[in-house]
Structure 1
Amino acid sequence: MIENHKSIKDTYMSRETIDNINNQVQMKEVMFDQTRGRYALKSIMSGFLLTIVTVFMLALKTQMVGANEGVINLLGAISFSLALVLIVLTHSELLTSNFMYLTVGWYYKLIGMNKAFIIMLVCFFFNMIGGIILFGLMKFTPIMTSEMVTSLTELVDGKTIDTSWYAILGKAIFCNFFINIGIYVSIQFKDGLSKAFFIACGVIVFVFMGYEHVVFNAGLYAGMLFYNFDAVVWLHVLKNIVFAFIGNFIGGGLFVGLVYAYLNGKRDSLHN
């Protein structure tokens, strides 16, 4: 029998990825503390990118009416994956990926939970501002057709009026689990094409399955502010935002961030 000389540290199969995430957490905290305006701008850019690609997806789906529904949904999901690829590769600040990053940082005691939660809220606020800016600019153009506004309204109704809090919570967990698994895997690659592929995979699953992404949803509501305000039941919008936020945190922060932080080191391992 060959003697086993492996140690616990040898089981930390993606420790380099965790170290990369921890490095990002420290940079996020420095930027948030010392250059708050730059952090806000990077968060706005995420919301802007996410929303402009949402409009692209709406245009694609409405112009393919009559085709097979599954094909339309798949092409819409593939087109929307461009948004997260652009956000990650431009190092913009998106709430849903920060759920994973900041939870890993909390596990390794690089950041307190109160501070992490404040950063999350600020990030989300400016993500929403990015969506509002996009639709505010677009309102004065003919880009959003009547068919696209109808599709937007139906999408919002499905996420607010026609669903329960539990369904939103569950679908939000699944959504951010897939997104952050994709990001986690992408960190292990150096070249942009490999990163883009794995990031896109997680997004395609969540969009095709109709899962709940709180920032994507906030962008939809920003569109309704400008194009069909009277059709929105804002109490149901609040229901969606609250439970999508919680579910996204569970899916990305706990099911991915906390799990892989635990699998790749002890809480005090950075302080020994």
Structure 2
Amino acid sequence: MAREEENMQDKENKENKETDTTINGQVDQPGRQFYIPSQIVDEFGEKGRDHLNKRFRAQFLLALTAGSFMTFGAVFSILLAVGIESKGLYHLLSGIGFASGYAMVFISGSVLFTEINVLLPSYLFNKGGLMKRTIYKFWASAYVGNILGAFLVGILIQLSASLSPSFYNELSMYLDHKMKFMEDGVLGWFEILISGILANWLIGMAAFLTTAARDITGKFLGTMLPVILFVAGNFQHSAANMGYFSMGILSTDKYQWYEYIFFNLVPASIGNLIGGGILVSLLFSYAYKEDIQTSLGRTNG
């Protein structure tokens, strides 16, 4: 394994040093400043493995932290959008606000359900279909931890009495936007599922771009672009909705807690699994199978 990692490092160093030269032999082109796709898939698998190797207590605490960041992101997205009349600027500011929550998740290494929908499948696909009960236990604990973390921060924010009435008026509009699918009954349930596929496809690409970047600025930008898009498109992202719904449960009785869960979070979560696991993890793992260099990829031969 050490030999394989050494070979991968040598290859990367060679790629970074490859440049065009002038006639005098002087360097004319700088080295590459980002990871290539096969290296990103490697990194996904290794991150998935690292999460699984943590003790359950650490996994659950990191899931609580990630859920907390989702509520902070939801609150910031609303605060930035209050009073904005222009739709384009409204969506842009709202997306930037929510991207702050994702940036905290990605950079802190917290465990977000919709991110591990990409990381764990990358690990599974590149280990030849390894299936263990601990994997599903981790998946479930991440989901529950995200919900509890989001709700905990919602409670603290309510107790702080920091937010103005205009915030709650805007929050009500956000909730209506998220729950509008209830009007379509069974069809609405499947619409949310499809919307969830699109949402986690974009979040998977946010993880992809963030992993590709080698500096903190690149990681912020990589996070921001797909998040702004899914927020503007109202694509149903279960972890993001946990942040909005935690505030909604505590501030309004317009919707009941079970409506948030069964008429939004459940179908959105199913869609998120499909979008992250298939359209990002499986797609890129298969496309770059021959290029994957780490022990994760080589096990698959």
With the shorter chain as reference, the TM-score category is 0.7 to 0.9
* Aligned partners of 1:106 and 1:113 also within 8 Å: no
Matched, 1:146 2:165: yes
- Unpaired runs of at least 5, structure 1: 1-12
Paired residues in the alignment total 254
Give the 5 Å matches for 1:1-272: 14-31=37-54, 35-62=55-82, 64-65=83-84, 67-109=85-127, 111-112=130-131, 114-160=133-179, 161-162=182-183, 164-228=188-252, 230-237=253-260, 238-265=262-289, 269-270=298-299
* Aligned partners of 2:193 and 2:267 also within 8 Å: yes
* Aligned partner letter, 2:203: I
Give a deviation string over 1:114-148, Cα, whole Å, max 9, x none: 54333222101111111111111111222232222
1:92/1:268 Cα in 2 relative to 1: closer, same or farther (>3 Å)? closer
Larger Rg, first or second structure (1 or 2): 2
Task: Tell which deviates more after alignment, 190-199 or 155-164.
Answer: 155-164
* Aligned partner letter, 1:26: R
After TM superposition, give the deviation of residue 245 of structure 1 in Å: 0.3
Aligned counterpart, 1:8: none
Percent identity over the alignment? 21
**Equivalents in 2 of 1:192, 1:268: separation in Å?**
27
Using the size of structure 1 for normalisation, the TM-score is 0.86
Aligned counterpart, 1:4: none
* Aligned partners of 2:73 and 2:243 also within 8 Å: no
* Aligned partners of 1:50 and 1:216 also within 8 Å: yes
Task: Tell which deviates more after alignment, 233-242 or 117-126.
Answer: 233-242
Aligned counterpart, 2:3: none
* Aligned partners of 1:106 and 1:116 also within 8 Å: no
**Equivalents in 2 of 1:225, 1:29: separation in Å?**
32
* Aligned partners of 2:95 and 2:224 also within 8 Å: no
**Equivalents in 2 of 1:208, 1:192: separation in Å?**
24
After TM superposition, give the deviation of residue 100 of structure 1 in Å: 0.6
* Aligned partners of 2:70 and 2:101 also within 8 Å: yes
* Aligned partner letter, 2:47: Q
1:148/1:27 Cα in 2 relative to 1: closer, same or farther (>3 Å)? same
* Aligned partners of 2:249 and 2:256 also within 8 Å: no
* Aligned partner letter, 1:236: E
- Unpaired runs of at least 5, structure 2: 1-35, 291-295
Give a deviation string over 1:200-227, Cα, whole Å, max 9, x none: 1111110111111101112222112211
* Aligned partner letter, 1:100: V
